[in-house]
Structure 1
Amino acid sequence: MISINNLTFNIGARALYDEANWHIKPGEKIGLIGANGTGKTTLLRLIVGDYTPSSGSISKAKDLKIGYLNQDLLSYQSDKSIVRVAMEAFARQNQLHTEIEEILEKLETEYSDELITRLTDRQQEFEQLDGYNIEYRAHEILAGLGFSEEDQKRQLNTFSGGWRMRVMLAKILLQQPDILLLDEPTNHLDLPSIKWLETYLGNFEGAVVIVSHDRWFLDRVIKKTVESRKGKLTPYAGNYTFYLEEKGIRETIQRGEFKNQQAKIKQEERLIERFRAKASKAKMAQSRIKMLEKMDRVDDVDDDNPEVNFSFRFTKQSGRHVVNIEHLNKSYPGVPILHQADGIIEKGDKIALIGANGRGKSTLLKIIAGTETFDGKVEAGHNVTMTFFSQHQLEALTLENTILEELQSFAPTYSETNLRSLLGSFLFTGDDVFKKIKVLSGGEKSRVALAKALTADANFLILDEPTNHLDIQSVNILIQALQQYEGTFIIVSHDRYFLDNIANRIWFIEEQKIKDYPGTYQEYEVWNSKRVIPKPAPIPVKQEEKAKKEEPRPVMQNAAQQLKKLNDELSRTEREVETLEKQVKEIETELADEQVYSEPARLTAANKRYQEAKAALDLAQQRWEELAAGIMEIEEK
């Protein structure tokens, strides 16, 4: 499918790849991993042809269709509804649809055999390309990615960046490429959408190459791992967990070989020193020197998983109750978030606040931090000192400061050594710490802001998506740091591996209340999978837009009630399917009538009614299948 042979790619004097090799086969599910700066995104761009190799080659199968999702797609703008943007994936079908409409319009005023022949040809091709179902497929993919029916009618430009990225993902998936190249696809997805994408990619018949820092996502999707490191591409025949285990074994062997070789080298060097001064042994010494020069040296193992050598400090211990929430109400015009919600955060709690986007997670963090208005009572306890990290904290950075100066001004009690150690954990090594804030990328500023938050003299941390822009190594560093933190924190994140390793309580917002699960994320997942939960439509809207949305529907109180409701709807849908099937057959009979066929106006009207009835039938049949699956799921519990 794709063959990378002796690939070399230079950036300035640095070889990002040096005679690297890799072969991607049809149907493979591959995770492309490696530390930031090792060239993962660059390699994807080389594959799609955005960049040209310095030497070597990238060979692709003829007519290979590549779907490439990258962060640059966030800049795409359109006034079209998102379902129409997604349907841009069907270029040929859209062209045929336009041509069919134009021919039908012409037939109203000028009838000819040539136009009828062209119409027939276009309609046959349109049907062969499944043109009558493209809108349904677009709706299906968008619904899986969290868009309600109302949302799908809204213009793309009214959505925030994360939601626009979902539309671009839907557009790529609808193209049904032979291979998907996905660069951090979970960055802008909430947990329900990540799970949906896992299922979709698991059933996807083409090949998939994923760059991601989400370990759980990789483990559930990929069957093979390729590591980008030191200019080479090293394959491992398993998912991310297998890679870690296999790499550990390889490193143990390599470490043993290195030690053995070093011992041999030292022994040879001692013999050379002993015999070099003796004339009778000089020849032997020279022979051994040449042998050492020709020896293939085994490299020592680099430590890719450094441990945290930075400790949190806070001068005050908080009281037992850190935050008390009572009768909390919060809403935007037409968008209820919280109603009479209660909750309590106690000393030592490590809380993960999870759920779908638009449910109010970030809003709740802002309320707790005191940066958002609300009705009700939210009180910090005795001696509580808090710090709040969010992506908006980037605006508080001083642009003229260097990275090191920014941390020194915020945390003067820390030594330069400690601060540089912390910055190293967040990928700022060596002279990087002397870069000015103003020259940093958005991701780099985010890492500076996170490092800054961790130096605060705070016994209560509020962190909103702290793992964004971090690679897997840096996420591990943050996990270690939070595990040794003796204070209290509440965190919003969609990285399940991260949450499972740092949280001892799970909060989620449901029915406008704060719900609490006392356990780890993995335990919560097991518990949550066994209960019947309400599924209100998502609200993917910029907060500042405050768009008017429908009130959530009343939630069924138990499984029996929900089962009755589903059965009633199933019966209605069955009747609807029968009616639509009858309509489609009647119109097909009408279209076959020579009288209709020879009258342009009647043919146009009949054809339009046929397309509408066929699309409605497809949607009704799909709804019937969804309802039947839902009924079976409840009955099996």
Structure 2
Amino acid sequence: MIRLHNLSLQRGPLQLLDHVDLTIHPGHKVGLVGANGAGKSSLFALLQGQLQADSGDCQIPAQWRIAHMQQEITALERRALDYVLDGDTRLRELQQQMAQAEQRQDGAAMGRLNAELDAADAWTAESRASKLLAGLGFAEDEMQRPVSSFSGGWRMRLNLAHTLMCPSDLLLLDEPTNHLDLDAILWLEGWLQQYPGTLLLISHDRDFMDAVVQQIVHFERQKLVLYRGGYSAFERARAERMIQQQQAYEKQQTERAHMQDFIRRFKAKASKAKQAQSRVKALERMEELAPAHFDSPFHFSFREADKTSATLISLRGAELGHGDKCILHKVNLQLVPGMRMALLGPNGAGKSTLIKSLSAELPLLSGEMVRGENLAIGYFSQHQLDSLDAKASPLLHLQRIAPEQTEQKLRDFLGGFDFRGDRCDEPVVNFSGGEKARLALALIAWQKPNLLLLDEPTNHLDLEMRHALGEALQHYEGAMLLVSHDRHLLKTTVDEFMLVADGAVTPFDGELDDYGRWLQEFRQRQQRNSLADTDNASAGVDIRIDRKAQRQAEAAIRQQLAPHRKQAEKLETQLGKKQAELDAIEQQLGDNSLYEADAKDRLKQLLADQSRLKQDCEELEIQWLESMEQLESLELQLAIQG
């Protein structure tokens, strides 16, 4: 287990941790949350031996293998697939030793190394690396490209795959979803849920943490506070403490009264119905969430547009794409005041292409775009961060678009984005990605847009700023088209979804959970089509199907399905029982009294039981996974036959 005892940590003049205690048991998945600079990344460095505690102890099993995601990657000429395989350093060492043994023609060494390679799953390594890359959005041909050919965001995906490829007992992930789209995040959630080791996760994606972690460690006022459950449970527990403070309560009541008044006045008015419904959503969640954010440094709103148009923008029979490449065909879309819409779709399907076309950043290949007379677009995309004037301060950026306003008014507005005092006057060149994103949003909010086009606005934003952005969008009265991997933002700010897939833009009749199921079916369909294309290419002729033989093959597969399904269910039941026993043991191990001198025998017995149950769980899980793979293979064969 990981154990911090009376530990203090200081970086320069800044005290990060002051005599803290923390115990993390093997196999637990823990999220780390707290303000920027509170010490989360420093704790990672401490666990890796890169930092030393100023006092106290940091205990971690000496034999544990630690995997940590790097935040930078060199522009290598190495093939992407090989770079991911390099993550398994033990495998690479064995392969190098085998090459040397073969060169020496050392039969004894070759025999020993073959056994070690077998134990390291060397023969499936390339297949496992390919699955990691596919899950993170890489096409098969892209896996063969050199690392240097990818952009920064895609190199970070390669770094993540490189880290996941490393066999580990402790996995340290710092903002792994920052450069992922929703599809890759859903895949990563599933992978981490199956990860058998101990996971420490720093993330600003609350839904991702809810899906992955079982505990939260909060860095607050140089202390560490452990909460059971995911981020939502942490937020509720913390809110219960904070709500006792009168200041937070009074602020919440004021906001509730404002929303209720808006709902009362506009719920029956057709033109305001969607905004009123959004206030209802915000009101439903306010009692639970707002107290946890009363001390946020962010509080802002999008200024209301002076004018609007009945139709803000419309596409008719539009062909959208880049250069000569058409990505979306015959797009018909109309954006009107009050519309709050999000785009869903697989990576590369054309979501950003659609937003860039609406913003006029990309010209239409054909078709018609009609823009309302009073259209005022607020457009946010990641490339805009790079277009900020590096030498100008936040105040100067705002003065350039509002020269008639007083300096104090502009400073007050920037304060809502946590640019205060001297920070208002500092040049952007040294700003972090999060600070640049906040400034870009501030410039948009000031300009009174009646249509927001937002392409991944939460990248680089911390939890407090994401919450403030969500609140501002709830109050925003214009139209909005949003692309985001932040499911919490999508759930609380939009009223409808559009699906961008297979070259078309169509309404999506469902919620985000339905999209997860649609995406799974989409991937299975792609896999079947890929297999079918491979078969057709190898045949080189039209395939004539013998229906009788096909029916016989289907019947044979169905006969195999039943026992495999029964075996998988049996193993899953056994695994569930063992896991429940293990959870009960680990809950008992959380009792601090066990570590007193007079409880050594009980502690020894519990640790022995824990070790036995973990081994049982691992063996059952391997058997269950093998059974599920066989079952999925049979089901896929049956689907292809059909």
Which TM-score band applies after superposition, normalised by the shorter structure?
0.7 to 0.9
Deviation at 1:324, TM superposition (A): 1.0
Change (3 A) 1:422 1:153: same
Q: Which of 101, 111, 127 is 2:118 aligned to?
A: 127
Alignment of 1:232-381 (within 5 A): 232-252=223-243, 303-305=294-296, 308=299, 310=301, 312-317=303-308, 319-332=309-322, 336-376=326-366, 377-381=368-372
Q: Which residue is equivalent to 1:26?
A: 26
Amino acid of the residue matched to residue 86 of structure 1? V
Q: Which residue is equivalent to 1:88?
A: 86
Alignment of 1:66-85 (within 5 A): 66-70=66-70, 72-73=71-72, 75-85=73-83
Q: Which residue is equivalent to 1:390?
A: 381
CA distance in 1, matches of 2:521, 2:292: 47
- Three-state SS of the structure 2 residue aligned to 1:321 is coil
Deviation at 1:335, TM superposition (A): 5.7
Alignment of 1:108-507 (within 5 A): 115-252=106-243, 303-305=294-296, 308=299, 310=301, 312-317=303-308, 319-332=309-322, 336-376=326-366, 377-412=368-403, 416=407, 419-507=410-498
- Three-state SS of the structure 2 residue aligned to 1:209 is strand
CA distance in 1, matches of 2:369, 2:139: 32
CA distance in 1, matches of 2:401, 2:525: 44
Amino acid of the residue matched to residue 135 of structure 1? E
Change (3 A) 1:453 1:161: same
Contact 1:65 1:179 in 2 (8 A): yes
Q: Which residue is equivalent to 1:36?
A: 36
Change (3 A) 1:31 1:13: same
The C-alpha deviation readout for 1:61-85, integer Å capped at 9, x for no partner, is 1122111124x23x33321221111
Change (3 A) 1:60 1:178: same
Larger radius of gyration: 1
Change (3 A) 1:334 1:460: closer
**Most deviating of 464-473 and 385-394:** 385-394
Deviation at 1:531, TM superposition (A): 7.1
- Three-state SS of the structure 2 residue aligned to 1:16 is strand
Change (3 A) 1:311 1:254: closer
Amino acid of the residue matched to residue 16 of structure 1? L
Deviation at 1:417, TM superposition (A): 5.4
CA distance in 1, matches of 2:17, 2:140: 46
Deviation at 1:250, TM superposition (A): 2.5
**Most deviating of 166-175 and 215-224:** 166-175
CA distance in 1, matches of 2:516, 2:110: 55
Contact 1:225 1:236 in 2 (8 A): yes
In the superposition, the TM-score normalised over structure 1's length comes to 0.73
CA RMSD of aligned residues (A): 3.5
CA distance in 2, matches of 1:415, 1:373: 38
Amino acid of the residue matched to residue 28 of structure 1? H
Amino acid of the residue matched to residue 386 of structure 1? I
CA distance in 2, matches of 1:335, 1:384: 28
The C-alpha deviation readout for 1:94-135, integer Å capped at 9, x for no partner, is 23333434444555xxxxxxx222222222222222221212
- Three-state SS of the structure 2 residue aligned to 1:89 is coil
Task: Give ranges in structure 1 of 5+ residues lacking alignment.
Answer: 108-114, 257-299, 538-549, 554-563, 575-619
CA distance in 1, matches of 2:166, 2:182: 24
Identity level (%): 32
Amino acid of the residue matched to residue 159 of structure 1? F
Change (3 A) 1:531 1:415: farther
CA distance in 1, matches of 2:517, 2:65: 41
- Three-state SS of the structure 2 residue aligned to 1:228 is strand
Q: Which has the higher contact order (CA 8 A, sep 6+)?
A: 1
Q: Which residue is equivalent to 1:608?
A: none
Change (3 A) 1:423 1:22: farther
Amino acid of the residue matched to residue 241 of structure 1? S
CA distance in 2, matches of 1:486, 1:322: 13
What is the number of equivalent residue pairs in this alignment? 511
Deviation at 1:405, TM superposition (A): 2.4
Deviation at 1:446, TM superposition (A): 2.3
Contact 2:379 2:453 in 1 (8 A): yes
Contact 1:31 1:224 in 2 (8 A): yes
Deviation at 1:633, TM superposition (A): 9.4
Task: Give ranges in structure 2 of 5+ residues lacking alignment.
Answer: 248-290, 528-532, 537-546, 558-625
Contact 2:297 2:418 in 1 (8 A): no
The C-alpha deviation readout for 1:588-619, integer Å capped at 9, x for no partner, is xxxxxxxxxxxxxxxxxxxxxxxxxxxxxxxx
CA distance in 2, matches of 1:358, 1:143: 13
Q: Which of 627, 630, 634 is 1:628 aligned to?
A: 634
CA distance in 2, matches of 1:512, 1:429: 46
Q: Which residue is equivalent to 1:56?
A: 56
CA distance in 2, matches of 1:368, 1:535: 30
Contact 1:341 1:512 in 2 (8 A): no
Amino acid of the residue matched to residue 352 of structure 2? S
Deviation at 1:421, TM superposition (A): 4.6
Contact 2:391 2:429 in 1 (8 A): yes
Q: Which of 496, 501, 506 is 1:510 aligned to?
A: 501
Change (3 A) 1:184 1:498: same
CA distance in 2, matches of 1:366, 1:301: 36
Contact 1:506 1:524 in 2 (8 A): no
Contact 1:330 1:336 in 2 (8 A): yes
Q: Which residue is equivalent to 2:614?
A: none
CA distance in 1, matches of 2:31, 2:416: 23
Amino acid of the residue matched to residue 628 of structure 1? L
Contact 2:84 2:158 in 1 (8 A): yes
CA distance in 1, matches of 2:451, 2:96: 59
**Most deviating of 213-222 and 3-12:** 3-12
Amino acid of the residue matched to residue 64 of structure 1? W
Amino acid of the residue matched to residue 380 of structure 2? F
In the superposition, the TM-score normalised over structure 2's length comes to 0.72
**Most deviating of 528-537 and 419-428:** 528-537
Change (3 A) 1:530 1:372: closer
Contact 2:216 2:231 in 1 (8 A): yes
The C-alpha deviation readout for 1:179-237, integer Å capped at 9, x for no partner, is 11111111111111111111111111111111111111011111111111111111111
